[in-house]
């Protein structure tokens, strides 16, 4: 018998590892697009490779940190919100147990259960206060528990942002260390490496969003190309105006 992942055409091995895949993917997309835009804009303005590296690394560290902190604080707030309402439910279970049993009964009655089976469900759930509170959270408040760590979400977002976002800079850093001056071929090489990064991260995005692989890759490549194109022509135009 086929599993759900096989039925929907998803990679089951990847499925086991995708707890934080969303953070890795969206961190990587943001990192690669924004850094490539910085590189393209600086190249369009014909800035030295040292300046391109400084701007790119500053973007990687500052924007990556900002994005990771936002991810951490957002998820932490969700966990605090969940825990606050769950504590209220635990208090209500202790204070008004019969009323809370009636609410469980109504929740499962709405799902189509009735008679002795419905009463058995209510008895089983209300026999364990922790399970009871969890059922009230999902059935009454429609809030699912979050099992991901806010710290890990923020950390993975930052790591992905930095690693994938460094790819557009790689050729410039390599040339700088070898004392090779940057030229138009540098931007072409950086574009080629970034295109591969877009394809890879777009492929992973298809698993997170459960969309077509080709559509996901196309969207990622298109957005990155548009952002870089706008940055390049803006940098080129400003360089002509200023000089």
Say what the pLDDT of residue 208 is.
Answer: 87
Across the range 182-196, mean pLDDT stands at 89
Say what the pLDDT of residue 2 is.
Answer: 41
Q: Mean pLDDT check: name the lowest of 6-20, 60-74, 221-235.
A: 6-20
Say what the pLDDT of residue 40 is.
Answer: 92
Average model confidence (pLDDT) for the chain? 86
7: pLDDT confidence band, cut at 50, 70 and 90?
A: very low
238: pLDDT confidence band, cut at 50, 70 and 90?
A: confident
Say what the pLDDT of residue 174 is.
Answer: 92
Across the range 12-19, mean pLDDT stands at 55
Going from N- to C-terminal start, the domains of the chain cover 19-76+148-242, 82-139
Tell me the pLDDT tens digit for each residue of 192-221: 999 999 999 999 999 888 889 999 999 999
- Given a contact cutoff of 8 angstroms between Cβ atoms, the answer to whether 28 and 160 are in contact is yes
pLDDT at residue 8 greater than cutoff 80: no
Tell me the pLDDT tens digit for each residue of 122-179: 888 888 888 888 888 888 777 777 778 899 999 999 999 999 999 999 999 999 998 8
What value, to the nearest 5°, has the Cα angle with vertex 239 and ends 196 and 67?
45
Higher pLDDT, 241 or 243: 241
Written as six digits, the tokens of 139 are 């059935």
Q: Which has the closest alpha carbon to 24: 156, 213, 149?
A: 156
Say what the pLDDT of residue 10 is.
Answer: 47
Say what the pLDDT of residue 233 is.
Answer: 92
Q: Which has the closest alpha carbon to 35: 55, 5, 12, 8?
A: 55
d(CA 158, CA 64): 5
Say what the pLDDT of residue 59 is.
Answer: 92
16: pLDDT confidence band, cut at 50, 70 and 90?
A: very low
Say what the pLDDT of residue 12 is.
Answer: 47
pLDDT at residue 106 greater than cutoff 90: no
Tell me the pLDDT tens digit for each residue of 31-61: 999 999 999 999 888 888 899 999 999 999 9
Q: Mean pLDDT check: name the lowest of 10-19, 28-37, 51-60, 221-230.
A: 10-19
Say what the pLDDT of residue 33 is.
Answer: 93
> Residues 6 or more apart from 128 whose CB is under 8 A from it?
none
Sign of the Cα torsion 45, 194, 171, 166 reads: positive
Say what the pLDDT of residue 13 is.
Answer: 45
């Amino acid at each position: 018998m086929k599993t759900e992942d096989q039925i929907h055409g998803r990679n089951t091995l990847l499925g086991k590892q995708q707890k934080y895949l969303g953070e890795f993917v969206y961190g990587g997309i943001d990192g690669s697009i924004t850094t490539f835009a910085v590189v393209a804009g600086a190249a369009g303005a014909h800035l030295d490779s040292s300046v391109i590296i400084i701007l790119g690394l500053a973007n990687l560290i500052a924007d990556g940190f900002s994005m990771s902190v936002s991810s951490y604080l957002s998820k932490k707030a969700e966990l605090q919100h969940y825990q606050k309402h769950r504590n209220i439910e635990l208090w209500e279970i202790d204070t008004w147990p019969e009323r809370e049993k009636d609410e469980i009964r109504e929740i499962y009655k709405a799902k189509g259960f009735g008679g002795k089976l419905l009463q058995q469900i209510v008895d089983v759930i209300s026999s364990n206060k922790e399970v009871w509170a969890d059922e009230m959270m999902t059935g009454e408040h429609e809030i699912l528990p979050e099992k991901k760590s806010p710290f890990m979400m923020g950390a993975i977002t930052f790591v992905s942002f930095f690693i994938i976002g460094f790819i557009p800079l790689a050729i410039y850093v390599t040339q700088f260390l070898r004392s090779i001056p940057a030229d138009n071929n540098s931007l072409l090489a950086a574009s080629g490496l970034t295109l591969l990064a877009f394809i890879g991260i777009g492929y992973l995005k298809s698993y997170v969003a459960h969309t077509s692989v080709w559509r996901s890759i196309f969207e990622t490549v298109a957005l990155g190309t548009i952002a870089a194109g706008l940055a390049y022509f803006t940098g080129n135009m400003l360089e002509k105006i200023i000089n």
